[in-house]
Amino acid sequence: MNSQLFLSTKLTADGTTRLDEYFVSPPFKLMTLPVYEDAWRHGLNAMQMSSSPGLLGGDRLEIRISLKKSTALSLKTQAFTRVQAMNGDSHAEQITVVKLAPDSRFFYLPHPLVLHKDSALKQKTTIEMGENAGLIYGEIVAIGRVMNDERFQFRRFSSHLKIYKLQENGVKRPLLSDCIQWKPSVMNLTALSQMENYSHQGSLCFIHVGKSAVEIKEILTALQQQFTPQTDVLAGLSQLNESGIIIRILAHKAEDIQNYFERIGAYLKERF
């Protein structure tokens, strides 16, 4: 299966974001949603859907998103993405490229990835941000179907996230490079500083190219004071070297991470 989802946004005369160009191939689908009463009242809300029961060996997904100047997009998913068992050395692959024009804003918090027994997934995400662009980007991964006794029974999981600031001269300056490499057959992923006894990991990035280090620090302090996670989860919040914050959280249930990220996401939307 070689599936594609391409979309771009445009700004109407009244300052509302609308879908511009749009292309999908099966099993992808895209549905626009009503405007919600959140901080991005003139933004576009959309849901990324798939009719597939999960990813199989040899599948390749390509997602390309382009936001025009001053537009805002909140993109969600319909359900969990299941990476199914695969034969031999085969793997599934997902490539995501996001380009944010100046003053645009993008929120993306998909449902968790579930790594089934004998599965393998490689994913690479590249995001380019123009002047004063804003980003809230999350990912949640489950280390297997725990109730089926599949903890760390997948073959491999590889995730690379690179975020750049696109300068006026066309040069891309790195803002964040995050890499996760899990291979249970040769790595002790239950060790201290790894997953330990947790079964779900989440990452959330907040980046605003137009904010100073002092402003970012104020937002980080507010998050630490107002959003204390539950006692059975482990969370860490760090300020990036430039323009942003990254949050990493470990938990026993996907819902705990997703609810925590959604509350933080709603708060961060107001900071743009």
Sign (positive or negative) of CA dihedral 176, 181, 182, 187: negative
Mean pLDDT by 10 residues, the chain (272 residues): 93 94 91 81 91 90 97 93 91 97 96 95 97 97 90 95 90 94 94 90 96 96 88 91 95 93 93 89
Q: What is the pLDDT at residue 193?
A: 83
Q: Which amino acid is at 109?
A: L
H or E stretch including 256?
A: helix 254-269
Rounded to two decimals, what is the model's pTM? 0.94
Cα angle 70, 269, 261; round to 5: 135
Q: What ranges do the domains of the chain cover?
A: 2-269
